Structure 1
Amino acid sequence: MLSASFRLDPAFTIAPVSRRTFGSFVEHMGRAVYTGIYEPSHPTADADGFRQDVLALTRELGVSIVRYPGGNFVSGYRWEDGVGPVADRPVRRDLAWHSLETNEVGIDEFMRWAEKANVEVMYALNFGTRGVQEALDVHEYLNHPSGTRLSDQRRSNGSDKPYGIRMFCLGNEMDGPWQIGHKTAVEYGRLAVETARALRAAEPGLELVACGSSHSSMPTFAAWEAQVLELAYDSVDYISAHAYYQPIDGDLESFLASAVDMDHFVNSVVATADSVGARLKSKKKLQISFDEWNVWYLKEFQAAPPTSEWPIAPRIIEDQYNVADAVVVGSLLISLLRHSDRVTAACQAQLVNVIAPIRSEPGGPAWRQTIFHPFALTSRLARGEVLRVEMRAPLYATARFGDVPTLDAVATHDDATGDVTVFVVNRSLTDSADLTVAVAGFGRAFRIAESWTLSDDDLTAANTEQNPDRVVPRTNGTAWVEDGELHASLPPVSWTAIRLSPA
């Protein structure tokens, strides 16, 4: 039995919980849109063709903001193809995912879906085959009230009021040679700053996200951020970060410690951005939009043979997630919350079917994957201020990251209700852990309001269409509070959330 502890105090805070931390991502890729959020022939489809079962799960997941329409897809996307009468919309090749895009769903349809889901939209602009003019045109269509050609076109298409999108991504992964229109840092930085200036002339107060590195293993990592920000620092508000994780060669110890890499990624980007800001003598602190992150069995996708066909909505990277994957997702959410002073937006990629917490079948059911649960509970329970946690826990050895703490945690405090919520992961493959959390610093007695643990003796267990609730969080009956201390026993390879309320 392992032993771990930390102390919480309401005076030691990191930053408020940003609701945008609990974002998602819908790309025109695979079955994310067609037979994912949209399937007019489905028994649950509403008048607009949206699957109400998927909408209900999206609301339950607690998604706050959704990045759209890509992803790699956006670097070849012509937004004009997706507006106006559906019968007149062209079918186009999507070079990013080697499929056909029917454009049956475009801006207006997606904005209607977002309203039903009660989510904000983070709109990604095409910086691959387009640039400044496209950004101004789509902004005019989306946000200008009326009296111009494109705003009046939107109104004639059924959306009298502007959509009021606040957050725009200036392209996607432009550092990647796989990206249509791939650019050097200087080429991209120049385009980003000119587009940002034009957009701000059209509408001051927009929040703009510059492309950071596609992942921290890119050969240009940090140098890319530095060169881009030397040009665009004063013109943007965010720099993006993307990261995906999977077990390599069966190395579960390192996989369970994936948040160590996310911590290092965030710290490195912050250090790089702040260095540029210091050189420019700027008082502004850039934020990070971690707008793609998840577990993704990428090597299996890369090993798949290429196809010469051009299908519509093919089954692409529909990973089935297990218990270990869910624990890692829970730990990545801990990392994101821990960095709430700088990571103020994040998007788990993606929402449905494509490496997603929600799965659906054409004409059939929708269900929660294992990774759905830590996201939904963290989104629901993380409120107020993020508290500093200094964990005391045994270390264990990993091949990728060296010695890392066996337990990792973050906590939040909602001053309005007095609630304190602890999120903790036990990475040990073999040992349970006795956790003690000192909470006397709050000056009040607490009771256990709710306690959830996701674990299973079979780490490969997954939720399927036939058995959608094989893996679910269960009440942790070991949690108790006495004499200013929270105590709980945490199983091996587990993620736990415990909410304390004033007694």
Structure 2
Amino acid sequence: MRARVVANVDFAISEIDPRLYGSFIEHLGRAVYSGIYEPGHPTADENGFRGDVIDLVRDLDVPIVRYPGGNFVSAYNWEDGIGPKEDRPVRLDLAWHTSESNEVGIHEFADWAEAAGTEMMLAVNLGSRGLDEARAFVEYVNHPGGTYWSDLRRKNGRETPWNVKMWCLGNEMDGPWQIGQKTADEYGRVAFETAKALRAYDKTLELIVCGSSTPTMPTYPEWEATVLDYTYDSVDFISLHMYFENHEGDLPKFLSLPARLDEYIQTVAGIIRMTKAKKRSKRDVYISFDEWNVWYHSRDQDRATLQGEDGWPFAPPLLEDIYDFADVLQVGAILNTFIRRADVVKVGCLAQLVNVIAPIMTVKDGPAWRQTTFWPYYFASRYGRGTALNLAVDCPGYDSPVAQDVPYVDVSAVLAEDGSLTVFLVNRHETEAIDLDLALQGLSLSQVAMDKVIAGHALDATNGPEGEPVVPVDGTGADITDGRLTAQLAPLSYRMIRLGR
């Protein structure tokens, strides 16, 4: 079997926004407490942040992290997380039926983000609260001084503002599980008025309005059309979320789900274009895909955890999916989809970063370790920056219950500023190796600078604190001759090939 691909230097999709490779930290489970923050841990710094986790986040080169939620934000009072820690209230978190100590708030998270080398994307509560709290939060975070909220920040130990540019106007407001769920008209109005107020403070803020929390929502895609009708000229992004499951154990169906993701993106992109035309607007609105991941392994465990706890537990182990080799292939194909849609998807947030459906896991008082899915995220973030190329692909495919003619080889390519080309490949075929023949048109490339592959593992193979067997190894057999890259892609494999001059 053969996959024929053409990469032409002149056929570009778009420059990739580095924020496409962002992530997410929510006050949920152990993401914060014993995840990023564990005073007394052997690697903890003076602020209580785990140094081993910071090192792994820096390895991933995460450009931006969304905070503090998520469902959590829809009943969150940001003021609870400022001032002396001993004076901060303990609150009940209605989203996850747990308790929140507020030991970590905006100051602490900002310190962690700086230590981890990432920027903050902050969310405001438009569920139980609204416009006034949002503008106060922005003033507290971004205003230099001389006002009530900015001077309170200075009193609390931060003299200079953080100047956060990206703000989410609530979270998943279409969801019946959300505290303060709204209809599209209700949300569109409050989002518009909140955006108007924030723009009155600073026209350069980048504002993200809630789209559908999943394409299976009964209100999708009318929700997007209604919300954008209210907010199009006031926001910069519309947020989309999608999670990927394999409860049936149907691998071909599971690995075809990125086709549904692609359809989701294209549909919302069409609504964006329609609204722009309807408004006769000169502005562009893009997609912030700020929650995505594989999520299904831990569902039974989560129910057992909460049912077995008395009262409102503090930082229990929730959503701790242990990812396997099959998930490597899925995450690789999802990232390829985002690269191929880089003209409209500008921001992405892998949900989440530590412990909660995450590439990084920790043991309380013990080690931090890399999940299997750490690696496709790592390679995309490190080497997927530049210009996404529009590839011509000729490859056999298969039909699944969710998509027709799914190509066995899923591929994307990114041209870096230095002229190097990185090709990301997933072979979905369960039994056959596929010969890759990639024509390099207008690309002066002569050597394989890096070749990494993850293949040959049992589908349920996992990593853990005792060892990490599912890791990339050096690929073999890739060759450039007469302007063509050839390689053999092992069955069920993820591969990253970087070409240089």
Where does residue 277 of structure 1 map in the other structure? Answer: 276
What is the CA–CA distance in structure 2 between the aligned matches of 1:402 and 1:344, rounded to whole Å?
A: 27
Aligned residue number for residue 26 of structure 2 = 27
> Which residue is 1:451 aligned to?
451
* Paired position in structure 2 for 1:73: 72
- Are 2:422 and 2:497, in contact at CA under 8 Å, matched by a contact in 1? yes
Segments of 5+ residues of structure 1 without an aligned counterpart are none
Please name the residue that 1:244 is paired with: 243
Q: What is the letter of the counterpart of residue 93 of structure 1? A: L
Paired residues for 1:89-238 under 5 Å: 89-238=88-237
- Conserved 8 A contact 2:52-2:368: yes
Report the alpha carbon displacement of residue 242 of structure 1 after superposing the two structures with TM.
0.2
Give the superposition deviation at 1:302.
9.2
**Separation in structure 2 between the aligned mates of residue 225 and residue 20 of structure 1, nearest angstrom:** 22
- Residues 437, 364 of structure 1: alpha-carbon distance in 2 compared, 3 angstrom cutoff: same
Q: Distance in 1 between matches of 2:420 and 2:51?
A: 33
Describe the SS at the equivalent of 2:460.
Answer: coil
- 1:232 deviates by 0.8
Q: Secondary structure at the match of 1:169?
A: strand
Change (3 A) 1:298 1:470: closer
- Measured after TM superposition, the shift of residue 285 of structure 1 is 2.1
Distance 1:196 1:352, change over 3 A: same
Conservation of the 8 A alpha-carbon contact between 2:82 and 2:105: yes
- How far, CA to CA, are the matches of 1:455 and 1:206 in structure 2? 43
Counting only pairs closer than 5 Å after superposition, residues 296-307 of structure 1 correspond to structure 2 as 296-297=295-296, 300-301=299-300, 304-305=303-304, 307=307
The 5-angstrom pairing of residues 480-499 of structure 1 reads: 480-499=479-498
Please list the CA deviations of residues 82-113 of structure 1 after superposition, one character each: whole Å capped at 9, or x if unmatched.
00000000000000000000000000000000
Q: Give the CA deviation at 1:227.
A: 0.6
> Which residue of the partner structure matches residue 433 of structure 2?
432
- Greater alpha carbon shift after TM alignment, 57-66 vs 398-407: 398-407
Q: Percent identity?
A: 50
- CA deviation string 1:402-448 (max 9, x = no partner): 3311111110112x421011111111111111101101422x24100
> Does the CA contact (< 8 Å) of 1:391 and 1:408 recur in 2?
no
Q: Is the 8 A contact 1:353 1:359 kept in 2?
A: yes
Q: Post-superposition shift, 1:268? A: 0.7
Q: Measure, in 2, the Cα distance between the counterparts of 1:390 and 1:445.
A: 19
Letter in 2 for 1:320: I
Q: Hey, which bits of structure 1, 4+ residues long, moved more than 3 A? A: none
Q: Which amino acid aligns with 1:250?
A: G
Say whether the 8 Å CA contact 2:187–2:227 is kept in structure 1.
yes
| Distance in 2, Cα, partners of 1:362 & 1:302 | 18
Give the structure-1-normalised TM-score: 0.97
How far apart are the structure 2 equivalents of 1:69 and 1:363? 24
| Cross-structure match for 1:413 | 415
Structure 2: segments with no counterpart, 5+ residues: none
Instruction: Find the aligned partners of 2:298 and 2:102 in 1 and give their Cα distance.
Output: 30
- Secondary structure of 1:391's match? strand
SS at match of 1:228: helix
- State the TM-score, normalizing by the size of structure 2: 0.98
Match of residue 314, structure 1, among 310, 313, 316: 316
SS at match of 1:260: helix
RMSD over aligned Cα, in angstroms?
1.2
Please tell me whether the aligned partners of residues 55 and 116 of structure 1 are also in contact (alpha carbons under 8 angstroms). yes
Amino acid at match of 2:400: T
Structure 2: distance between partners of 1:380 and 1:303: 33
Contact 1:456 1:471 (8 Å CA) reproduced: no
Give the aligned residue type for 1:269. Answer: V
- SS of the aligned residue for 1:398 comes to coil
Q: Distance in 1 between matches of 2:133 and 2:196?
A: 14
Matches within 5 A, 1:259-408: 259-297=258-296, 300-301=299-300, 304-305=303-304, 307=307, 309-408=311-410
Check whether the contact 2:8–2:391 (CA below 8 A) recurs between aligned residues.
Answer: no
Aligned length: 498
Q: Deviations over 1:8-63 (max 9, x none)?
A: 11100011121000100000000000000000010000000000000000011121
Question: What SS is found at the alignment partner of 1:247?
Answer: coil
How far, CA to CA, are the matches of 1:458 and 1:437 in structure 2? 29
| Superposed CA offset, 1:262-311 (max 9, x none) | 11110011011211221111122210000000000078359825535200
SS in 1 for 2:189: helix
